[in-house]
Chain A
Amino acid sequence: MQLTLWTYEGPPHVGAMRIATAMEGVHYVLHAPQGDTYADLLFTMIERRNKRTPVTYTTFQARDLGGDTAELFKNACQQAYERFKPEAMLVGASCTAELIQDNPGGLAAALQLPLPVIPLELPAYQKKENWGAAETFYHLVRALTGSQAATFQRGTPESEGRRARCNVLGPTALGFRHRDDIAEVTRLLGMIGVDINVTAPMGARPADIARIPQADFNICLYPETADTTTRWLERTFRQPVVKTVPIGVGATRDFIREVAVLAGLDPEATLSRIEAEVGSRLPWYSRSVDSTYLTGKRVFIFGDATHAIAAARVASKELGFEVVGLGTYSREFARDVRAAAALYGLEALITDDYLEVEEAIGAVQPELVLGTQMERNIAKKLGLACAVISAPVHVQDFPARTSPQMGFEGANVIFDTWVHPLMMGLEEHLLGMFRGDFEFKDDVAASHLGHGHGSHKAAARDEPIMVSEQPSVAALSDAAGHAAGQISLVWTQDAEKELKKIPFFVRGKARRNTERFATERGVTPITVETLYDAKAHFGR
């Protein structure tokens, strides 16, 4: 039993819904109690979809449990088939129905409906949303293409005198910027000179899924959803997989080269041709002197594995930040994130416990948090700048404009959205130089961020013990940790005053460094001298 305030992922059947809702002509019959229909509004409200989700819920009640819930499920299947006339049907159970063990797959098969019916077994007490999406996509692709495996033949582009063609796999409903990424990646593939055979699940029909084997190779755009499927397709239909996820300039360049090689094109020539035409502005923006102030900004990154790993590369190599924390809630990809973290000399934070993430962010006091909507909340509480890089999503993550994360345009978007929340260069200097200005309040954010971003109540995080008016679980646990570890450290009044002259957004770090320095050397009390000794010792 785990105490959970917020969850990064829903249950696995919500992952299945993301596949069904992304597609056309697929209907999902879910054995579930009333109330589970809440999941519809994720799609209709957060993503503003203009159609009902293609899901029928049996909505059984307590009084049905003594009776025949299996019959209820069969009726729901039959009626959903007659009403919605889908081309393929997914059937499964949510967490409660899993406990009553009605076997939706067997019941649906007994109806002998004249369409492919794909049973899903998504263990709700072990697995989560992304796993559910990956598993659903895999079973769907397997069911609709598997019969071709024994006899399938595919010619090469050369033998058939055609351009190379690929599948773009992984985009779902409710994905972070999937809609815009697909537009950008489609454009990029067109420029490379590769045809798209099928994009799936987003926008695909069951008949399109059946055509997947006809592509020369697959692009695994979102490993969280498509990794299982692309591995199976590689084994079954000998389709190589492009594994580079084109987020950031470097990764987009790698992606173009990788695709070009599989398409039988000259990778470097293809890349220079495309960059000459539509390269990103990020490299120049990053090199322009205005961006000097971005150097070494301490950034904490948390999200799904794909976006977190990509963000670390962009932050470190393309914006000149220092990555001080990297983590993910995607346990399935923990190994990849650990490997990425090692590149920055870090130990990855692998957790789905929001409180643990909050604690980790509080401990390293970054200047920028790149995370999910959960980390946005944490950052708001701690008075830190933040940009959202990953699901779970919020209505704000579906902007009206096209705003991809992938490709060269995605890199432009990333430059803007990550740099915008930070203090601007000159402003930061002025704050540092004239701490005493009566209009420079500690909790004031960058002036270009307007009113709403100011007054970070909790910016006083660097105070020895922080208990806000409404003590939160996290704040209290943090306070307890603080009290236990640091109770013996005493600051002289002068040293406290001097500390206050340091801008608030680095003050927490200064306090921590000074206290660590003092503890290691047994210095007490901490004086102005100690403060500057520590500064000299640690550098910036």
Chain B
Amino acid sequence: MNDMTPVPVASARAIGCLDAPVRKERGQHAVFCGLTGIIWMHRKIQDAFFLVVGSRTCAHLIQSAAGVMIFAEPRFATAIIDERDLAGLADVHDELDRVVAKLLARRPDIKLLFLVGSCPSEVIKLDLSKAASRLDRQFFPNVRVLSYSGSGIETTFTQGEDAALAALVPALPAEPTDAVPSLMIVGALADVVEDQFVRLFAEMGISNVKALPPRRSTELPDIGPNTRYLLAQPFLADTAKALEARGAQRITAPFPLGVQGTTEWLRAGAQSFGADPARFEAVTAAPAARARQAVSRYLPHLEGKRVMFFPDSQLEVPLARFLANELSMQLEEVATPYLHRAHLSADLALLPAGTALSEGPDVDLQLDRCRESRPDLVVCGLGLANPLEAENITTKWSIELVFTPIQGFEQAGDLAELFARPFGRQSRLEV
């Protein structure tokens, strides 16, 4: 490691949790399904529409998932399967064609339509990829029609984004064979964060940077063997596979959360493109220092506090790494719905050795452990937060970590603040 590494790496910690055992449990999982990803994806790609083919439950889930109803005009809808559809499968495709035609006639601004599979559509084996290619033939080039599954039997929460992006990859144009090497940032980020990263890479001399997903479906990035990609989100297993099938190469890096993660993520990109190390330092020194200062403001509130993660977004491991290394918090348990060892290798290596890791735990058993150890802070979903608060256990809603710009230098302080806020609030209240 060179001298830019912000945290000194002791030899005992050099491998961190790279090979650490992971607790696995079967039982009730209190997590969202992949349909929930539509809530941010439909805002990220501004000319895309997400049509869930599912039940009333699916429609109800999406409108409830953000905790309250969202009242902007949605670019998503549900084609609710009813009894008549279940009676004969041949009918369902006709019905779907009718619904899609009606939808597209009313929304001529839509250029990309995702048919999104759900638990019921999977169980009745409704072939949405067939439907999508049929509809794509009918509506292309005005509208491109793709499909993916956001079903709860196959995907957890953020895996919905993974499935959507993986479905988008085959539609990306091929780069010319003599294309100059380009960098692709993969995973939905807040626009402001994406722009910051592009700016930083440009200052390092890497100007050929593209993003997946793009903000408009008409701006799909091209791809090929000269594309190297950096994952900006830890939940993109299938997308990575699809990108590699198109020849792109992954740059291994920790995820850009906190000063350490952001520095190492940017460095991995810079090194891959042979950027001058001195230039890298010159470009990152000021924002990294600013970020360190912003993070350090919350150190007194968080230092030494014990934190437990309930599974939610797969962001848990890099977040835990940030809290442990930059805010000196103690990790009581880090639970994640799915632990992708390869994509998380750099983060796992930086995690304190001996951290209790668990994958998809049984919510009742984890609650038992939580009540037993009474951590100072529990990061959990909305179904558990108020009940735990009522037991005098301080919580941070995990969904906010998905809906807030938290990546990059300029957001590192905001990320720390999200964890400090519950304590700050407690200290204000005298009721």
Chain A residues near B (Cβ < 8 Å): 1-7, 9-11, 13-14, 33-42, 44-46, 48-53, 56-62, 64-65, 76, 79, 83, 94-96, 99-100, 123-126, 128, 373, 377, 380, 394-395, 470-473, 476-477
Contact = CB atoms under 8 A, between A and B. Distances in A.
Contact of B65 (A13, A38, A62): A38
A3 B71 contact: no
B8 interface: no
A4 B80 contact: yes
B64 A34 contact: no
A99 B126 CA distance: 13
A34 B33 contact: yes
Contacts of B153: 33-34, 60-62, 64-65, 96
B123 A50 contact: no
Contact of A50 (B28, B120, B381, B387): B387
B74 interface: yes
Interface string B131-152: 0000000000000000000011
A313 B98 CA distance: 41
Given A62-B154, A476-B106, A35 B119 contact: yes
A75 to B, nearest CB: 9
Given A11-B56, A52-B384, A99-B124, A125 B81 contact: yes
Nearest to B54: A95
Interface string B153-187: 11010000000000000000000000000000000
Given A3-B77, A394-B68, A472-B73, A48 B386 contact: yes
A471 B79 contact: no
A96 B55 contact: yes
Nearest to A72: B26
Contact of A44 (B33, B53, B109, B383): B383
B360 to A, nearest CB: 9
B339 interface: no
Interface in B29-62: 29-36, 53, 55-57, 59-61
Contacts of B299: none
26 contacts: A1-B79, A1-B82, A1-B96, A1-B99, A3-B77, A3-B78, A3-B99, A4-B77, A4-B80, A14-B57, A35-B32, A35-B33, A36-B57, A37-B29, A38-B64, A39-B60, A44-B385, A45-B67, A48-B386, A50-B390, A59-B27, A61-B152, A125-B82, A128-B56, A373-B69, A477-B106
Contacts of B194: none
A57 B82 contact: no
A35 B123 contact: no
Contacts of B68: 45-46, 394-395
A39 B33 CA distance: 12
B389 interface: yes
B119 A96 contact: yes
B123 A2 contact: no
Contact of A35 (B31, B77, B382): B31
A62 B122 contact: yes
Contact of A10 (B35, B60, B82): B60
A6 B63 contact: yes
Nearest to B35: A35
B430 interface: no
B294 to A, nearest CB: 30
Given A35-B61, A46-B68, A65-B153, A476 B120 contact: no
B67 to A, nearest CB: 5
B387 A124 contact: no
Contact of A2 (B32, B63, B80, B92): B80
Interface of B: 27-36, 53, 55-57, 59-61, 63-65, 67-69, 71, 73-74, 77-83, 85-86, 92, 95-96, 98-99, 102-103, 106-109, 119-120, 122-124, 151-154, 156, 364, 381-387, 389-390
B65 A3 contact: no
B32 to A, nearest CB: 6
Contact of B80 (A1, A57, A83, A470): A1
A369 B61 CA distance: 26
A473 B73 CA distance: 9
Contacts of A123: 83
A13 B386 CA distance: 22
A208 B212 CA distance: 58
Contacts of A473: 103, 106-107
Nearest to A124: B55
A14 B71 CA distance: 22
Contacts of B29: 34, 37, 59
A-B residue pairs, 7 tightest by C-beta: A35-B33, A35-B152, A40-B383, A50-B390, A1-B95, A96-B119, A41-B382
Nearest to B91: A1
A33 to B, nearest CB: 4
A376 B387 CA distance: 30
Contacts of A49: 386-387
Nearest to A96: B119
Given A2-B82, A37-B32, A49-B386, 12 more contacts: A7-B56, A10-B60, A38-B33, A42-B64, A45-B68, A64-B153, A95-B56, A96-B55, A99-B86, A124-B55, A377-B71, A476-B108
Contacts of A5: 74, 77
A471 B107 CA distance: 7
Nearest to B124: A99
Nearest to B56: A11
A75 B109 CA distance: 50
A470 B95 CA distance: 27
